[in-house]
């Protein structure tokens, strides 16, 4: 289990920083936007669904997962609800993360839906304490810029090309 946690921490430190940087650059070019899209999709698939699957298979019951929360009621509620039902609830989390990752990678409106879900997910992470909140805030800044770039790109693709009026000389 310790190796999985270490791999997860290394993943989040390296891939998380690169993803935020890619998202911040997403409005500068289509290529940067596509790289950011791919990275966010992979964060949800690998850093979310795959790592949570590994934790679950290694026997983690997620009991201490919310111990650093800002709010005692979050920790208490988590401990009362999640550990006794961790296979079902974390299984649903894994399905959510995988579905959102795939939506983001599809492109178009599906990417925008996936990004909106990812933004909501990262907002929810802000109750987990300093470390996760700092990560979530950095990701939120990048995700909002990426969603904006995706929406702008979709709007530009939907516009018909502008035609110049033909001048008739008499």
pLDDT in tens, 22-43: 888 888 889 999 999 999 999 9
The C-alpha atoms of residue 45 and residue 150 are separated, in whole angstroms, by 20
114 in a domain, yes or no?
Answer: yes
Please give the DSSP secondary-structure letter assigned to residue 28: T
Domain that holds residue 28: 2-157
Where do the H-state alpha helices sit in the chain?
2-25, 30-42, 51-57, 72-81, 86-106, 108-125, 130-158
pLDDT in tens, 42-81: 999 998 999 999 999 999 899 998 999 999 999 999 999 9
| pLDDT: which is higher, 14 or 103 | 103
115 in a domain, yes or no?
Answer: yes
Quote the number of domains for the chain. 1
Whole-model pTM: value is: 0.84
The C-alpha atoms of residue 41 and residue 105 are separated, in whole angstroms, by 6
110 in a domain, yes or no?
Answer: yes
């Amino acid at each position: 289990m310790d190796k999985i946690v270490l791999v997860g921490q290394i993943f989040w430190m390296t891939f998380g920083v690169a993803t935020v940087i890619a998202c911040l650059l997403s409005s500068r070019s289509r290529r940067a936007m596509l790289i950011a899209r791919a990275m966010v999709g992979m964060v949800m698939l690998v850093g979310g669904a795959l790592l949570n699957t590994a934790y679950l298979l290694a026997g983690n019951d997620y009991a201490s997962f919310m111990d650093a929360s800002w709010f005692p009621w979050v920790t208490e509620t988590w401990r009362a609800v999640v550990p006794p039902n961790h296979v079902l609830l974390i299984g649903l989390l894994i399905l959510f993360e995988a579905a959102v990752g795939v939506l983001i990678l599809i492109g178009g409106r599906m990417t925008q839906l996936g990004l909106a879900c990812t933004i909501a997910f990262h907002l929810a992470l802000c109750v987990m304490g300093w470390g996760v909140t700092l990560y979530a805030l950095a990701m939120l800044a990048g995700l909002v810029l990426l969603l904006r770039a995706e929406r702008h790109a979709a709007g530009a693709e939907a516009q018909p090309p502008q035609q110049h009026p033909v001048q008739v000389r008499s």
